[in-house]
Structures are given as C-alpha cells and as structure tokens.
Structure 1
C-alpha cells in the first residue's frame, strides 16, 4: 500500500522517472478504471432495453421500479462511498462495490418474482457510485502530466459504449429476454472486479479521522433520493398530487436539515466549506447540467426513432431497434472520436475555452435537431453536430472538476458531480416527458407524441446547455494538476 503522510493534503501517488509517458502499465490501469466506469452507462442502455421484457414476464404495472430502484440506492450511497474511499482507500471500496454489483445482478437474473428482481437491483445499486471514485483515483494514481488526458479519455469512452451496446442489448434481449441482459451485466461486473483487484493499486488516504457521520450521510442521501423519486414519479402522479408534493417537501426538508447536521458534526461526511467556494459550485453545477444533457438526450431520442409513424396521431419515425442502432453508429463515433481528440490536446489548450466551445456546439446541435429530425439524413447531420459538443463535454467535465479542487478534495468533487447528474437527469427527463405529453394524442390508452413535442424535447436540451454555458463563463481560471507540488 502507498505510504501516507500524517496530513491528508500531502498524499500523492508515487512519481517515477518516466512521469508523463504512457506505458503499458498505465494503459492497463486506465482500462481497469474505464471498464467498470463505463459499464454504468452500458447498464443503463441494457436496462432500458430489458424493461419491456421484465414487464411482460411478471405482468406488472410497476416496472418503472426496475430502473428506479438502482438509481435511488446509488444516490443514497454516494456520500458514503466518497467518505469511505477517503478513509480506507478507493481500491477497497471499489472492490466491495463491484462484488456487490455482481451479486445483485445475478440475483435479479435468477429471481422468480418481480419483488426479488427489485431486491437484486437494489443490491446492484451499491455499484452505482463507482464513477465518483474512479475519476478521483485517476488523480491519485497517474502522474501530473497525464491527469488531464486520462480523465478526458475516461469520460469520452462513453461514446464507445453507445456505439456497441444497442446492438448487444438487442441481441441479448431478443434471444434470452431480460435475463440475458442481467446475466451479461453480472459477468461484466465480475470482470470489472477482477480488473480492479489485479491492475489498480491502492490509492492514498485523504482522511485519517476514523469518525463517521452516519446521520449526515443518511440525511443527505435520503434527501436527494426523495427529490429524485418525486421528480421521477411526478409525471404519472401529477405535479400537484399530494404524493409528489409530499416527497418533494420531505426531500427539501432533509437537505436543509443536512446543512445543520454537518455544522454540528465532529466528523462531517462532506466538507461544506469546499462546496461554498464559488469556482467549485459553478464548475459542479455547469458540469452536472451539461453531462446530463449529453447522457440523457440520446436516450430520449430513442422515443422518436421507435414510436410508430401514424399521420395525425404519432410523429415517430417507426424504426426498428436494429435500424436505430445502425443509424446511431454515426453520432456515437463522432462523440467518441471528438472526446479522444480533445483528450490528446487538452494539455496544450485552455480547458475553459475548450469546455465553453463544446457547450456552444452542443446547444447549436440540439437546436437544429429540434428543427430537423424527420428522416435518417436530417437526424444524422444534426445529431453528429450535437455530439461533437457532447464529446467535448464528457471529456472536459472531469478536467473541469480537477481544475477547481485540490487533490484531497477530488473524491468529494467527483461524488457531488455524480449526484448532480442523477438529480438533473431526473429533472430533465421529467421535463421532456411533460413537453411530449403536452403535444400528444391518446389512442386506445396509449399516448403518441406529435412532432412539436419532439422538437421541444430537443430544444429543452439546448436550453439546459445554454444555462450551463452561462454558468461556465463565470468559472475562474482552472488550476493545472501539473503544478501541484511534488511530494517530498
């Protein structure tokens, strides 16, 4: 294990004579961190494709919980994962998370009842906060000159996931139903556990106070979970329904209570002093909002592709899932290629300017998607432009966080970014469905969406991106991890 100093702020990964060079060992380390990180994105795509099979297999009207259970558990546990990683080292926590993820997905695949499936998905939710630790581990384990490109490659590899996972999901679900998708996730998570065990060294500890603020973690995680649950259910319950307002109120009350709990805690789970710094608050909010658009909009666009085309009733394109996967190859390749290109040159560029340029391109792209999405050619051209921006955003967001926090605050910054992406994702998704339903036709109990609904859905993504851009203009110059003091 890497020796640690008595002061957490001085902990660093060891440096060697070849700092700044990509070696086979460092490439293997990056793969070992990127595989389980992007498996989270792949799991979202596989889960979305498996949902219909789950509903039909168990004849349930509560299938929304198949995905929601995972999200809620992950959100609840994120603050605990951050603190435990700082206390005991990130590798130990990541091993426990991947092991529980494997067990949970296997249990869900074996389950003979819907509620046991949900139990398995809840256990798998322990794996959800992995990204909060993996990006922080990059700063701990890579030399200073490679932190920016390694973080950018980790983020942009989501485009590679989006390239192949739709084909994989279709094959698994079509051949073996939802169990095929869950067994694949169990096996892939087991591989992730092995990669972490074999290739990832233990990270320095950034906290040495053994006290643990269980109350603060439960209040924070519970408050965020309640808000996300309310927003996720608000569309079906109704925004003025007592259940929606009750969950929103409970979540808001818990988040306010958290501020007071942390002030009086001898061992706070989050350092609120860090979050009160304007650069950190701006970077996390802008980064969370922009990543939400980059991750959420392609999933919502599947509605346009797969809903039928019925003149006067439904303005969907009526594609098959396989046809949609083939067409989406273009913009996923653009996203991955852009992120890879940015990661290569980010060390020599001003990250703020690159980030803002990416936001401007993404906002322009989704504005045009709103106007032009009626056939393959229109959707490919406009989506490719949007995904040039998305590639920059997913590559730049980790670098943005690195630039506003110190090394021992990296876990906190990455964790808060993850929680904001979950929160904003619920809000943007609910807003998109509200716009779709405002321009819909109900036929035989099913809501079919008109073209105006799809247009406003994409324009919502453009508007959220412009908000992120406006916030980013006030982010001060970023600190360069290459300028961090070399440990003695």
Structure 2
C-alpha cells in the first residue's frame, strides 16, 4: 500500500480559478493550527507553572523545566525537517506528537524533579512541529490558497496570546503545576487525533538512499550548545569559563558542520539552496523579525508583573489576571491584523505588508520605551507594535513560500524555525544583560529600574531595522499559484 492510499491527498485539489475554501480544507488548517500554536500556549502555561514546580520539588534548578524542552527541540529540528521529506510529513507528525504526549504524561505524574525533566525531554520531541506544518500547507492546499493559509497558520499565535494567560492563571491557582501539565497532555493528545483524522497523507519527497545522521548531530548539537550557553549566561556570568566554553564548543561544531557538509553525498542541509541570495535574506530576516515579535511580549509581562517599589523596582505590580485582561487588547490586534493580511496577500505584494509590519513594530516598541507607565500607555504602544507584529508573523511564511520551490519548502521552514529559536535566545540574553545593568539587588533578588525597561523596548525597536534592511534586497516573490499549479506528470 502506498503512503497516499490511506487517505486521499489534497495535492490534487484544484489549483486554478476554481480553487476555493471548503469545509475539508478548513478542517485541515484547524488540524495544523492546533498543534503548531499549542507550542506557544505550552510556553506561556509552562512559564506560569514554573514557580509551582520549584516549590513542589524544592529545587533551585527550576530553569531546567523550560530549558530541557528547548534544548531537545533544537537538537532534533534538523532531523525532523529532513525525515519529514524522507518518510512523509503526516507520519512524522504522528510520531512526534505521540512522543510529546508520552513525555507530558511522565512530567504530569513525576514524583521527583529528575523524572519530571525526563518527561520534559521526551516532550521536546514535539517541539519541531512547525518545521512540518508550514511545508504541509504548501503540499496540501491548492496553489492559490497557499499564501492565505500560511498567513493564517502563522498569525493564529494571536489567539494563544488572548486565551493562554487566563487559562494559565485558572489552572495554576486551582491545581498548581499538575493542572498545567495535564492540560498540555490532553491538548497534545488532541493534536494527535486531529492529525490522524483530518490531515491527508503527503508522499515522501526525498527517496535518495543514505541519511546524514552525523551532519544532523553536529548541526543540532552545535545549535543546542549555543542556546544552552545563552540560556545559562545570566546565571553563570557572561565571562564565566562554562559560558564561554559551551559557546565556543557550539560555534566550533557549526563551523565543522559547514566544512563537512560540502563533501557529504546527501547533506542534511542543501547549501545550494541556502546560498541563493533571496533564500538567505528571507530566512535571516524572517527568523530575526519573528524572534523579536515572539520575545518582546514576554518582556512586557516582566514589566507588568514585577512589583512597583520606588527607587528599587520600576515594575507595574499587576496581578497575572490583570495583565491577561490588559493584554487581550494587543493580542486581538495581532490576530485581527494577521487574518486581514492573509486576505490581502492574495492581491498585494507580501513584501510591502512585511515592510509595513516591521516599521509599525519598530515604531511601536520605540514609543513604548518612552511611554509604559500605566495601562493606557502600554495598551496604545503595544497595540501599535502588535499591528506590525501581526503583519510580520503572517508575512514570514509567505516570504519563504515565495523564494523556495515546493520541494525545498521543508528545508526553508525548518531553517526558519531554527533561526527563530537561536535569535530568540540571543535576544533574551541581550535583554537580561541590559536589565542587569539597571538593577538593584535586595535580599538576593534582582529588581529592575525604569532605565532597563526603556532600553529593552528601544533595543527591540532598533533590532527591527536589521530585518527591514535585509528584506529590502529581496527580489519579487514567486507566486505558488504560478509555480506549483502545474499538474504532476
């Protein structure tokens, strides 16, 4: 039985003027949105559960609760994006969501912190799901619907920002970290069911013999070492031998990977694709821009929840529920903008919306550096920034679609996801380094002053200039309605 015989493929769906949204296609998109954005929801839920985990297990190493998941995800991403092309994306989706469910169950029932970390490590196998879901859209949907479907898949993160903070407060207040872990378990299991019944089979795209296991280990290991060093740098000290050692080891591994892959018969990364200027520009700009768009809201939460102590701490001192209520405003803006962009991108050059999004995001966070003293100021500046963020997260996958072929989509989306993680770690480390220079330590706890928050917003604004400048050199994008619509031989 061939991989396509289990369920009919939508690759053969109409790709010309007859292509339109159907209940079946809507169901497929929902089945891809749920597991993709569950990763963002799990991040918010996990962050809110961290304190409960630390108190329940009486550990001072609670940072590993989140770091373990991130490190395993980073290590496995190169393998997932290649194995998806080799064995079929649906099959691999089921494998990694199944492993994620098993890991979540272990974490939810763990009687020790060490066993909890084992569960989190296994659950990290689910982390690279985005490296499969965005390419799946390219292969499943009619060519004329690829851009709007990709934009909706990316911008649906705004829905997570609306509901997850309220859900986190309810679960943590009522059941502690176990409530969070069991919810994540159920949500991951639902992902498995949705994929199994709604996502069609996608035939393997790479049938060449041999697999570059060594290259995957060197690449994933190098990226993991760099992310680990950046994640621990604040607690170890940026000049500490451990920080510098892990960072150096990661950079050396990445350098070795580049040299070795050039002579590998079947490299895990096709450098002939990555050397094309449009691809390199889009992936670098898209990775950095989305890292800023995803990381800045977590830093806004830091400002909101830290106490307000004159002369010591310039936080706003909000409760988690109040922060969630206020945050609904800018998350609605982000989601609504993304949905509008998904429609506009069928008629407007996606680069124009992308440029507008970066400008709005930069201006919004630049103004937030000056105005963040109360709800009104933070709502106005964050809504402006998220008006841009909505265009950015909706536009990034569309830009990738416009510079890679259908066969290269898995590689492009996989690299984009790796860069988002890497740039996100770099930006987070930079943010806390900035905050540390404007902090006051009381009873062993660092409290941040207003100048630190000012520079966090200004740093985010300034960094948006980098992807903006890079993307100005991206040539006109190819339309999948023209490049993918040719019927298969």
Q: TM-score w.r.t. structure 1 length?
A: 0.97
Q: Relative to structure 2, which stretch is displaced further, 139-148 or 252-261? A: 252-261
**Which residue of 2 is the match for residue 7 of structure 1?**
none
- Contact kept in structure 2, 1:314 and 1:450, CA below 8 Å: yes
Matched, 1:382 2:391: no
| Structure 1, 214-223 or 258-267: larger mean CA deviation | 258-267
Q: 2:12 aligns with which of 11, 14, 17?
A: 14
Q: Residues of 2 paired with 1:245 and 1:445: CA distance?
A: 25
Counterpart contact for 1:13–1:204, Cα < 8 Å: no
User: How far has the Cα of 1:264 moved from its partner?
Assistant: 2.3
Residue 3 (structure 1) shift: 6.0
Change in Cα spacing, 1:46 to 1:3, as seen in structure 2 (3 Å) is closer
Stretch of structure 1 that moved more, 267-276 or 329-338: 267-276
TM-aligned CA deviation for residue 365 of structure 1 = 0.3
Distance 1:116 1:63 in 2: 13
Note the C-alpha offset of 1:2: 6.4
User: Structure 2 CA distance, aligned partners of 1:193 and 1:465?
Assistant: 36
Q: Distance in 1 between matches of 2:221 and 2:119?
A: 20
Shift of 1:115: 0.7
The Cα of 1:12 is off from its aligned counterpart by 9.0
Map Cα deviations across residues 54-103 of structure 1 (whole Å, 9 max, x no partner). Answer: 11111111111100000000010001001110011100000001001111
| Equivalent residue, structure 2, for 1:261 | 260
1:335-378 CA-partner distances (Å, limit 9, x unpaired): 00000011011110011111011000000000011110000000
* CA distance, structure 1, for counterparts of residue 360 and residue 425 of structure 2: 24
Partner of residue 112, structure 2: 113
The Cα shift of 1:300 comes to 1.1
TM-aligned CA deviation for residue 16 of structure 1: 3.4
How far apart, in 2, do the equivalents of 1:151 and 1:243 lie?
Answer: 41
Query: Partner residue of 1:330?
Result: 329
Do 1:140 and 1:204's aligned partners in 2 also have CA atoms closer than 8 Å?
no
Task: Determine the structure 1 residue equivalent to 2:99.
Answer: 100
1:368-379 matches, within 5 Å, as: 368-379=367-378
- Deviation of 1:210 (Å): 3.1
8 Å contact kept, 1:19–1:145: no
8 Å contact kept, 2:4–2:201: no
The question of whether the paired residues in 2 share the 8 Å contact of 1:222 and 1:254 is answered with yes
Equivalent residue of 1:317, what SS? coil
8 A contact 1:355–1:393 mirrored in 2: yes
Indicate if the aligned counterparts of 2:41 and 2:160 stay in contact, CA closer than 8 A.
yes
Cα distance in 2 for residues equivalent to 1:412 and 1:283: 13
CA contact (8 A) 2:4 2:202 kept: no
Decide whether the 8 Å contact of 1:87 with 1:210 is kept in 2. Answer: no
**Distance in 2 between residues matched to 1:114 and 1:281, nearest whole Å:** 41
Partner SS, residue 128 of structure 1: helix
Unaligned runs of at least 5 residues, structure 1:
5-10
> What is the CA–CA distance in structure 2 between the aligned matches of 1:390 and 1:108, rounded to whole Å?
33
Q: Match for residue 230 of structure 2?
A: 231
- 1:207 and 2:206 matched: yes
- Partners of 2:473 and 2:46 in 1: CA distance: 38
8 Å CA contact 1:105–1:124 kept in 2: the answer is yes
SS of corresponding position for 2:184:
helix
How far apart are 1:19 and its partner, in Å? Answer: 4.3
Residue in 2 aligned with 1:316? 315
Q: CA deviation at 1:260?
A: 2.2
Q: What corresponds to 1:219 in structure 2?
A: 218
TM-fit CA distance, 1:265: 1.8
Q: Map of 1:41-52 to 2, 5 A cutoff? A: 41-52=40-51
Query: Structure 1: which 4+ aligned runs deviate by more than 2 Å?
Result: 1-4, 15-20
Q: Corresponding residue for 2:352?
A: 353
Inter-partner Cα distance in structure 2 for 1:117 and 1:2: 36
Deviations 1:296-343 (A, max 9, x none): 000111110000101101100000000000000000000000000110
Residue 386 of structure 2 corresponds to residue 365 of structure 1: no
The equivalent residue for 1:486 is 486
Asked if 1 retains the 8 angstrom alpha-carbon contact of 2:154 and 2:393, the reply is yes
Partner of 1:31: 30
Tell me by how many angstroms 1:272 deviates: 1.2
Alpha-carbon distance, 1:383 to partner: 0.3
Report the alpha carbon displacement of residue 204 of structure 1 after superposing the two structures with TM: 2.7
- Distance, in Å, in 2 between the alignment partners of 1:260 and 1:379 is 47
Unmatched 5+ stretches in structure 2: none
Structure 2 CA distance for aligned equivalents of residues 377 and 442 of structure 1: 29
Q: Matched residue of 1:207: which SS?
A: coil
CA distance in 2, matches of 1:3, 1:77: 26
8 Å CA contact 1:19, 1:143 repeated in 2: no
C-alpha change, 1:482 and 1:16, in structure 2 (3 Å) is: closer
CA–CA distance in structure 2, aligned partners of residues 370 and 2 of structure 1: 53
Which residue number in structure 2 is paired with residue 8 of structure 1?
none
* Change over 3 Å in CA distance of 1:199–1:364 after alignment to 2: same
When the two structures are superposed, what TM-score results if normalisation uses the length of structure 2? 0.97
Aligned partners of 1:368 and 1:203: how far apart in 2? 46
* SS of match in other structure, 1:407: coil
Secondary structure of the equivalent of 2:326? helix
- Aligned counterpart, 2:406: 407
Alpha-carbon distance between aligned partners in 1 of 2:10 and 2:210, rounded to the nearest angstrom: 23
